[in-house]
Amino acid sequence: MDNQNRSSVLQWLLPTGIMLVVVVVMLLRFWSKSGTESENSVFKTLISSTESYASNFRHELEKVGKTGEPIGVLIGDEGVADSARVAELLGVTADCADVEKVLYSDINGVGIDQTGAPVEIGQESWFEEVRGSESSYIYVQEEEAIIVTERVNSDKAQGYLLMFYPLSKFSNMLLNSGYDSSSFLAIVDMNGGILSASGAASNACLQDGNILTTIEGENREAAKSLRGRMNNGSRGNVYISLNKQKQLLTFVPVGAPGWDMVLGVSDAYVDRQIGYLRKNTSNMIVSLLLVIIIFFCIVMVINIVGKIRSNEKKKELEDKADTDQLTGLNNKLATERKIKEYMAKHPDKQSMMFILDIDNFKKINDTMGHAFGDEVLRSLGTQIGSIFRASDIIGRVGGDEFMVFLKDIPNDETILKEARKVEEFFKNFQAGEYVKYKATASIGVAVFPQEGAEFEALYKAADQGLYKAKKRGKNQLAFYRDRTPAGQEEPKTEE
């Protein structure tokens, strides 16, 4: 036993050690890559956060535009002759869109505001952009606002409904964001010009009013890459360094004409986020190593114990694999294997094979139901085992077909006795707990080795006996060759 245990330990020690080394190497490689992966994860998070800010800002502008659409239609339908009515509509627009200023202007720049006061904006430089641009959004630096334009074009009125979205709202967007005090959020045009910013106003990127020209001096390649990617409408992250302070700029398109949302965070903030992720990874690796070591130790202990008990478990598992789940008898494969094994070991020992087939089983299923049919099979499996020896082989080999192999039958008298025993069993056999049903069977019998020295030959002989029993009207037992007790004349039967 000690040698067996020692052999078992050695058997598992080598592969366990190799596996442990492989796992450790893989974890170390994983750790070496975790920095890059953590950095990429932080980059993706920053892009997602910036996209959320851009989406919120775009939603605000779209909300203003959708508010102005029906007002523009009303002005076009009613005309502008009634200035009081136009002012009333402009006031409704200002309230619903939550903007401070709303104008209606004809194509020459003459109109009124929501208070009814006349306005003349034809000489304003941005008004030319309103008339010439196809965009619904015009940035006006003097107003510190974005004009959301709704064109009015009807027989009664031709002009523009101008809603001034104040960029002061944007300045509060980064509040309570969780970024550090040096972070900023900015809307920039395609040339890098800053339309509005939120967050750290003292950040070096915001000082000259243009992010691209500000960073170009110390970060020429980064500025070139940033400019190209912004003009292409892409999104991403770029590291820059200003005044010896490293920052990460995250940029995504806003969806408005040529505008981008830029989020700037310090390198220290990025490092902290990466550190948090790597700390989790480090703890995970340590925990995983401990779990793996404990796991392999447990596997080795279980294997040693399993080796000691394997002989006991082996028979239990084999019996379970050999068992028909419905009847508890041997299944077909186990029945055939056990009979063949006995034949091979005892080729001269006289034995008997019975093949039993439940009469009219299909009718039972059709009239009583498949559940009751299963109960008939289950009852047969339970009861038939009680009339034979424990060493005999009993199995279910088909849907309603059973096989019984009786070992070591000494003489013809015993053969007939066993046959009568089976016949008597089916005279009294009943199935069903509440509804009693008397089931019968047709039985074929063959004797080993006289009527078949191999399993297939013996089975064929017993099957011919079964055919003979059915031909006689079922509910009978028939031998492959008809037999009678010694001293009696064998009856003649029609084949």
> Which three-class secondary structure string do you get for 27-38?
HHHHHHHHHHHH
Distance, CA of 361 to CA of 377 (rounded, Å): 10
Annotation says 400 is catalytic: yes
Quick one: which of 455, 423, 439 has its CA closest to 353?
A: 455
Here the tokens at position 482 are: 């008809």
What number of other Cβ atoms are within 10 A of residue 400's Cβ? 20
* Beta carbons of 472 and 491 less than 8 angstroms apart: no
CA–CA distance from 318 to each of 194, 226, 326, 400, 403 (Å)? 79, 71, 17, 24, 20
Distance, CA of 59 to CA of 80 (rounded, Å): 30
Helix (H, G, I), strand (E, B) or coil at 334: helix
Rounded to a whole number, what is the distance in angstroms from the first to the last CA of the chain?
A: 63
Per DSSP, 210 falls in state B
- Pick the catalytic residue: 82, 400, 408, 412? 400
Residues composing the chain: 495
b (16+ CB within 10 A) / e for 82-107: eeeebbebbebbbebbebebbbbbee
Phi and psi, residue 307, nearest 5° = -65, -40
Q: At what angle do helices 2-78 and 267-322 cross, to 10 degrees?
A: 130
**Which of the residues are catalytic?**
400
